[in-house]
Amino acid sequence: MSYCLNPTCPHPENLAYSQRCQSCGSKLLLCDRYRVLKPLGQGGFGATFLAYDEGLPGEPSCVIKQLRPTATAPHVLQMARELFEREAKTLGKIGNHPQLPRLLDYFEDNQQFYLVQEYISGATLQQEVQRNGNFSEAGVKQFLSEILPLLQYIHEQKVIHRDIKPANLIRRTEDARMVLIDFGAVKNQVTQGVNGQSEQTALTAYAIGTPGFAPPEQMAMRPVYASDIYALGVTCIYLLSSKTPKDLEYNPTTGEMIWEPIVQVSDHLTSVLRKMLEVSVRNRYKTAQEVLRGLQMEPYIESLAKGMLAKSDVGAKEHIHNQIANSAILCSSPPGSASSAGVAQVAAAIRARRAKTAENGANGVMRPKAMMAKSTNFENHNSHGSQNHNPNVVRKLSTQNLLTAYLKGRRDFALHNLSMLNLQGADLSGTNFNSAKLQKTNLQGANLNNSDFGRASLTDANLRDANLTKAYFSNADLEGADLRGADLSHAYLSNANLRGANLCGAILTGAKITDEQLVLAKTNWMTVRPNGKRGLL
């Protein structure tokens, strides 16, 4: 079928490969290359359509977003054009990420505005819940561990999404990874103080986000990065209860959603969600990293509480829960304060536990049965990605188990211990290794295109001649890694530790990397710089 994009066409459906609409006479081949097949969605300010790109071999699928202003007055068209161009520029700037749709084209035609984006095949989280029911606590934690690093990346680009909700999160069919779509309501923090009142009027009318998911400051046209964290918290409540904000009651005094009685989760996750959903920005998590920090401390709550119970009273465990739940605030306390001292004790205990676990693993010490049970359960997935394990516990995998899991369609190995594995020449493209341990792992010649190594430890890893195009290395530790001859074209290396990394002969064309990072690494005249030129700095 060929679908007509004329907003006033009474009968837009046409026969396949028709040149003009039989109803209104409009051309059906947009820009002489894009053939629209069917509508995907409709909003107050535009519509999206599935299309084929007949200008490319194989006619790949794409998504056409048509901006449809509700009025034709000159100032409305100008406002639409500004919002449209902002969305296009935002997608162009942040699109080099495996969990975001790529911008393929944008143009204006007969006072209609069009964006062409990569088509993401899969079901939205809203559809998953409607088909399969509520997420488990483990499923929500897994979701957060995957989406929070993405949110951090977006905020590092000084972009506020402003419309995070289940309908805008798609689990991609090919690799089961979460993809965030619809940047029509974005707020670019860099320009928000420049555009003036006209922009505020435009956004008030059309792009404030979705009521219930948007926090009060966003509805008042004063969004901050923490606004996205609130929306993410509301999304978690939906995943746990299948109830939208309009289905929930609110505290008439504070304006807070009353959600705790309808979800059954641990005290720790409750405290994290409570802090994500604070009505006051002052009391809410400020960054995605703070939320991750709160979640990642959970595996140590029981051991820390037991240690304090042995020395103190039965209230110690509750004290530890409160201390960890408020870790983001405590960590910002001045050095030498009581709060800072308390966090230092918790951090020391965590480091000691990690060191002991690593030592036991290296010496082949038998793990407790409880930990072995958690490790065994990681293969047990349900249809919407929840798992019967604690996603914050690092799990050890063998080379064969990893490769077998990948061949069966598994693409998520976040937080796993993959150190010293021999994966030479393996095809592991599009894999999530976020926060995984890959010290001294042999990945020579491996295909790791579009893979996520955010916060992963790759010290002394062998990545020689590996395909790392469009790989994501934000905050990864690559100290001493061998990257000779590796293809890092358009890779994202912001805040990655490259001290002592060998980049001789590596290709860094279009990579997100600073000169300061390159100074710490080893390079030679064969190294291809981000600007495409060879040579030393």
Q: Of 193, 178, 197, 189, whose CA–CA distance to 235 is shortest? A: 178
Q: How many CB atoms lie within 10 A of CB 250?
A: 14
Question: Tokens in use for 148?
Answer: 């929070």
| CA–CA dist 239, 133 (Å, integer) | 8
Contacts 24+ apart (CB under 8 A), 203-209: 203/83, 206/44, 206/45, 206/83, 207/45, 207/83, 207/162, 208/162, 209/162, 209/163, 209/185
Known active-site residue 182: no
The answer to whether the annotation marks 522 as part of a ligand binding site is no
Cross-strand pairs, 124:
170
- From the candidates 53, 105, 163, 487, which is the catalytic residue? 163
Is the Cβ–Cβ distance between 535 and 515 less than 8 Å? no
Q: Given the structure tokens 């040579």, which residue do they identify?
A: 535
Q: E strands, 183-235, where?
A: 187-188
- Chain Cα centroid distance, residue 274: 21
Is the Cβ–Cβ distance between 113 and 67 less than 8 Å? yes
Which backbone phi and psi does 165 adopt, to 5 degrees? -165, 165
Residue 266 gets the label, from left (phi > 0), alpha (psi -120 to 50) or beta, of beta
SS3 sequence, 463-525?
A: CCCCECCCCECCCCECCCCECCCCECCCCECCCCECCCCECCCCECCCCECCHHHHHHCECCC
Q: Of 502, 366, 510, 410, whose CA–CA distance to 175 is shortest? A: 410
Which residues are annotated as part of the binding site? Answer: 65
Which residues are annotated as part of the binding site for ATP? Answer: 65
- Return the active site residues: 163
